[in-house]
A and B are shown apart, each in its own frame.
Chain A
Amino acid sequence: MSAIAGPSSLALSTDRVWWMPPNGALHGFAIDRLMWWNLVALSALFLLAHVALLLAMVRRRKTGARREASWRLELIPLALLTLLYAWMAISAQRLWAVARYQGAAPNALQVEVTGMQFQWYFRYPGADAVFGATRPELINAPAGNPLGLDRTDPHSADDIVSSSLVLPAGREVDIGIRSIDVIHGFFIPGMRLKQNAVPGMEMHIHFTPSVVGDYPILCSQVCGLGHARMQAHLRIVSVSEYAAWLASHAPRRAEGAGR
């Protein structure tokens, strides 16, 4: 009934789940493997249950036959299912703990993501490795200050603000996520990563991009009439390319502030 014409073909290996976009993050391979085994196990259960349902529909009990269903008939499958759920909970929990229980390493690259209706902004701290202060009353996108950067703060002078996210492959990145208006969802399918941007809070997630390429960034939490077009690009580049990008985007004012 529905046209199954997808972006990818059926992959029978465990490193890639059918339909999922290519993974480009270090932690993503384990997640994809877990997703694969989950889908396999649960699809098998789905088919098994439906074979039972169909059997029940066509079968008729012989008159007089009285096979009493035993408790074991139900409790053994239930025990097996419980074990399956326990395995799922434990294996997923280990990955979750690695991803979320601890923050990024101290030498991780710092980037700040800010969501606003209907745009993502990415801020790099620049050479001083410190983000300048921002104040909501200074926000003025038409005047070129969408984040409300406080120009009187010396740390803000070398901050780079970009509308696309550029990251070097192979280095851990610590992303601080903020919103200035409503809740947005920061979602990079290719990095197997999602975190809401909540106004009044700053959320930190960390990951290591590993495969060079271009990955879409989407908004995954309905945020107003432009929700569907709140998209941006993540470019994973080589370390040297990243250095060149930083250099070309360093604000010229930085020299003025240094003088």
Chain B
Amino acid sequence: MSLAIRRRWFATTDHRTIGIAYLLLSLVAVAVGTVLSLLMRIHIVWPDLKLPFWGVVPPEGYLALVTMHGTLMVFFVLTTAPVNGFASLVLPVQIGAQRMAFPLLNAVSLWLTLVSFAVLLAAFFVPGGAPISGWTNYPPLSAIAAAGPGQATGMDLWLVSIGIFCFASVLAAINLLTTIISKRCAGMTLLRMPLTVWSWLVTAVLILFAFSILFAAVVLLLSDRHLATSFFVPPGEVIDGVLVAPHANGSPMLWLHLFWFFGHPEVYIAILPAMGLTSSLLANFTRRPVFGYRFMVGTTLAIGFFGLLVWGHHMFVSGMNPYAGTAFALTTMAIAVPSSGKVLGWLAMLLRGRDSRVHPLPTPMLFTLGFLSFFIAGGLTGPILAQPVLDAYLHNTYFVVAHFHLIMAMAGMFSLFAAVYYWFPLMTGRLMNEWLGKWHFWLSLIGAYATFFPMHFAGLAGQPRHYAQLTGSTSALSSLLPLQTGITHSALFLATAQLLFLVNLVWSTQRGRVAGLNPWQATTLEWAGTDVGCKVFRGPYEYRFHTNSADFVMQCAEEAEQE
């Protein structure tokens, strides 16, 4: 390895390289996470199948797959890619800064995230294997090593990994906030910021709240495990017939509150950048300004604010006070209003028509429409789950699995794909292949709906999550085997379709069409190509803004004239 390459990748503080490194990490994580989910799907319907290198998967193996799949996807894909990855890549140029506020800190965050990733994967290879308590890791199952295989060293590694991840994320959020507040170029007032920047701003604030709380929770749980404290463990625990060494009066409910105080904002951390990108891309590809820019900013702020107040809707049947359940039901219904407002705004942008002259439905636009479709499909089951009395039936069933895989996983992934296809020229100077991209989109759309939509029915039928098998002393679930078999086939189809994306990445990096300076004829600064002396004169979405002017005007263009 030459010195130049080593310096480019291992000693870099360049925001573009760091962004690409984050995205590559997410690519590895999403590949591993997908393979884990396929092993789960295969095990549910063919439990006796012998897997290479593993043999017949034991029940704890299934739960280890669930835990690691969830952790990888939520932390290392849906947090790392949209926030750290694309923000590092795009944010500084989009606000006319040449670099992040603290370039070295940005590199430190990246390296800590990589360490965290390695520590997490190490859990697979320690005695007992990876933890089995799901990504939420409720104590006492997660607090007492004897409670199950994987709950000893595996659980410790999980906690250390997430602790490091929290630390890295808080550092990255401080960096993002400082950059947005202090590094904007002349003329880039708050209300001239692209909506992606607004999203990253709110996301960074949410990260400060959410990840510092999770960090505290992780430290307390490690202390319960190794320092004989009793934050989460009540007295009188009997595991496997053996009385656990006495604990004072801890309560598992404290963990639930701390975890979901992180866990729900985390959902918005994953999806807010997607919302900002959707507004920007719809403006770009319909060649019209964003419909209601201030309204979009307002709803982003409202979602961020309410996002901090809804965590209890994960806990309606947990033993929380039923009056608190009512309060959280109301805040959750309230957050549906700004979310619906955003969707209506996007639909209004679409319905007023698009100009087909520039780019008729290119791949990033298709994936944005896919995001919208999944956001609507998954979002509409939100109000059902926000009703405690209905959630008391649906909680922890496949209905919830369908809900969050549509709104968080699929909407999030489709938006990430839109971002990769759209911003690929910033990384490589080339465009991705449109033909492969369109096939990738349509096959993924079909595969995703076929995988996750039928899960609603399994949930209505009462099938709980985290079940390694459909058998048991009651025959309640065996009739769902045909449905689950169909889902497994769809999941295999969906995962296979992603190979088109990998092929496209590799091919386009070397052979893709050279993009030129502003391939999408966009208005925002990342396409301006001038790194120095940038000055902004106008808002971010001036597509056909003035009746007698050009098709679009970049933010840094001094006069509205044909480019």
Kindly state whether residue A77 has any CB partner on chain B within 8 Å: yes
Pairwise interchain contact A137-B243, C-beta atoms closer than 8 A? yes
Contact residues in B for A199 (Cβ distance below 8 Å): 140, 234, 236-237, 252
Partner of A82, one of B337, B361, B464: B337
Pairwise interchain contact B474-A181, C-beta atoms closer than 8 A? no
Contact residues in A for B148 (Cβ distance below 8 Å): 117, 224-225
Q: A20-B462, A88-B387, A220-B397 are in contact. Are A201 and B251 (CB under 8 A)?
A: yes
Q: A4-B457, A200-B249, A220-B396 are in contact. Are A88 and B141 (CB under 8 A)?
A: no
In the complex the two chains form, what is the Cα distance from A227 to B327 in whole Å? Answer: 31
What's the minimum C-beta distance from B354 to chain A, rounded to whole angstroms?
6
Closest A residue to B356 using CB positions: A60
Partner of B323, one of A1, A101, A180, A187: A101
Residues 455-487 of chain B: 1 if any A CB is under 8 Å from the residue's CB, otherwise 0?
001001110111111011111100110110111
Partner of A3, one of B253, B464, B476, B482: B482
In the complex the two chains form, what is the Cα distance from A228 to B59 in whole Å? Answer: 8
Residues 61-75 of chain A: 1 if any B CB is under 8 Å from the residue's CB, otherwise 0?
111011111010110
Residues 1-43 of chain A: 1 if any B CB is under 8 Å from the residue's CB, otherwise 0?
1111111000000000111110000000001001100110010
Partner of B462, one of A78, A180, A189: A189
Interface residues of A in 89-113 (CB under 8 A from B): 89, 92-93, 95-97, 99-101
Pairwise interchain contact B350-A81, C-beta atoms closer than 8 A? no
Q: A46-B376, A116-B238, A181-B140 are in contact. Are A56 and B350 (CB under 8 A)?
A: yes
Q: A65-B353, A78-B344, A116-B238 are in contact. Are A232 and B473 (CB under 8 A)?
A: yes
Kindly state whether residue A246 has any CB partner on chain B within 8 Å: no
Pairwise interchain contact B396-A96, C-beta atoms closer than 8 A? no
Interface residues of B in 346-386 (CB under 8 A from A): 347-356, 361, 369, 372-373, 376-377, 380-381, 383-384, 386
In the complex the two chains form, what is the Cα distance from A189 to B345 in whole Å? Answer: 39
What's the minimum C-beta distance from B227 to chain A, rounded to whole angstroms?
19
Contact residues in B for A6 (Cβ distance below 8 Å): 457, 461, 479, 483
- Residues of A at the B interface (CB closer than 8 Å) are 1-7, 17-21, 31, 34-35, 38-39, 42, 45-46, 49-50, 52-53, 55-57, 59-63, 65-69, 71, 73-74, 77-78, 81-82, 84-86, 88-89, 92-93, 95-97, 99-101, 116-117, 136-137, 139-142, 148, 180-183, 185, 187, 189, 192-196, 198-201, 203, 216-229, 231-233
User: What are 24 A-B pairs with beta-carbon distances under 8 A?
Assistant: A3-B486, A6-B457, A34-B390, A38-B387, A42-B380, A46-B376, A67-B352, A73-B348, A81-B337, A89-B329, A136-B236, A139-B241, A141-B241, A182-B141, A192-B392, A196-B319, A218-B472, A222-B132, A222-B133, A222-B134, A225-B149, A227-B59, A227-B467, A228-B59
Smallest CB-CB A-B distances: 10 pairs: A200-B234, A2-B486, A61-B353, A189-B462, A92-B387, A216-B474, A56-B350, A1-B450, A100-B322, A216-B476
